[in-house]
Structure 1
Amino acid sequence: MLLERGIVVSYETIRRWGRKFGAAYTKRLRRKKPSGKAVWHLDEVVISIGGRKHWLWRAVDQDGYVLDEIVQTRRDTKAAKRLLIRLMKKQGLSPKRIVTDKLRSYGAARRDVMPAVEHRSHKGLNNRAENSHVPLRKRERMMRGFRSVGCLQRFISVFSAVRNLFVPPHQKRSALATNIHRIRAMAQWKVVTGTAA
């Protein structure tokens, strides 16, 4: 359909569209309402940009929705604190529990930022956050990496918001419920993008 109009859709075209329209679409997408009973799964993954290591810190809730992501050059307590503070500002409240891997920076950051919140640190408990990195890694390979930190930060903010819309929560659901979720998501996407008939 786009090729008939003379538009060649390459990864560079998608990158440009994301840069031009992504922020506006992300603002219009309905966000999940925060809950005081939420469980946040926190994790970090290394991403190489221009031969230098950067860390993508990510927070996911108990349903698998990405709450926030931030790209940083460090993997220490200061970086973990920055993620937690940003999350609390964005969500408006603190969670019931935080689940992380064995990185000690999370414990130190939690003690400083939200000491009353329960913290569980175990490699096996944090699979929800670990699995949330998989779609990003697939996109990274397809796009042959990212050019800059700003490019990555813009991309993940748009990519996660759109993915949160279309992917149903991680609960045991019937095929019918999943289908209804996707139909509603597509209807909302058409309203957000202005393509509704």
Structure 2
Amino acid sequence: MDETYIKVKGRWTYLHRAVDRDGQILDFMISERRDLAAARRFLKQAISANGAPDRVVIDKSSANLAGLQAIIGVLKLTPSGRTVEIRQLKYLNNILEQDHRFIKRITRPMLGFKAFHSAAATSAGIEAAHMIRKGQIRANGASVFQILAGLAA
């Protein structure tokens, strides 16, 4: 799990993202702050959608560490019966750092967003298109518009 920056109304906001070890996008969320509350909210959202992880790799962000410890304190154990391992090393989340490049390539020429809700909706579309391109979502005969509409619902 990691975060990257995007501009909304001329101010930097944070796009929190989580991927698995294969680089598949698990979840994402935009927040105005990079603090304990935002980290807890993102982790709660990601864990409720994907289940409890066995291992979490983060960078040296103290907010992410505190959020993880708070959420893991509530969870106690993973479904497999082991505690959640937190690895806080700068270079271990390289898969995610490289995946940020795709988001930056799309949002940089846009010069930011005018409203927070439009940034959230647009980034959801960008992430969905990226997931389709990576083969993470199967089309099964549906058009890209139908897939995006289903993800947005």
- Shared fold, TM over 0.5: yes
One of 83, 88, 106 as aligned partner of 1:139: 106
C-alpha deviations, 1:14-72, integer Å up to 9, x for none? xxxxxxxxxxxxxxxxxxxxxxxxxxxx1111222122221111111111111111111
Q: Aligned-pair distance for 1:162?
A: 2.2
Higher fraction of helix:
1
1:12-51 equivalences in 2 (<5 Å)? 42-51=1-10
The letter of the residue matching 1:153 is A
1:1-197 equivalences in 2 (<5 Å)? 42-91=1-50, 93-115=51-73, 116-167=83-134, 188=139, 190-193=141-144
Following superposition, which runs of at least 4 residues in structure 1 exceed 4 angstroms of deviation? none
Q: Aligned-pair distance for 1:159?
A: 1.7
- For residue 124 of structure 1, give the secondary structure of its aligned residue in structure 2: coil
The letter of the residue matching 1:124 is Y
The letter of the residue matching 1:122 is L
> Structure 1 residues 143, 122: CA separation in 2 closer, same or farther (over 3 Å shift)?
same
- For residue 131 of structure 2, give the secondary structure of its aligned residue in structure 1: helix
- 1: CA distance, partners of 2:120 / 2:63: 22
Aligned length: 137
C-alpha deviations, 1:132-185, integer Å up to 9, x for none? 11111111123332222111111121221221122258xxxxxxxxxxxxxx95
The letter of the residue matching 2:142 is V
Q: Aligned-pair distance for 1:190?
A: 4.9
- 1: CA distance, partners of 2:106 / 2:94: 20
C-alpha deviations, 1:112-146, integer Å up to 9, x for none? 11243110011110111111111111111233322
Q: Which runs of 5+ in 1 are unaligned?
A: 1-41, 170-183
- Normalised by the size of structure 2, how large is the TM-score? 0.79
- 2: CA distance, partners of 1:161 / 1:194: 11
The aligned counterpart of 2:79 is none
Higher-Rg structure is 1
Q: Which runs of 5+ in 2 are unaligned?
A: 74-82, 147-153
- Normalised by the size of structure 1, how large is the TM-score? 0.63
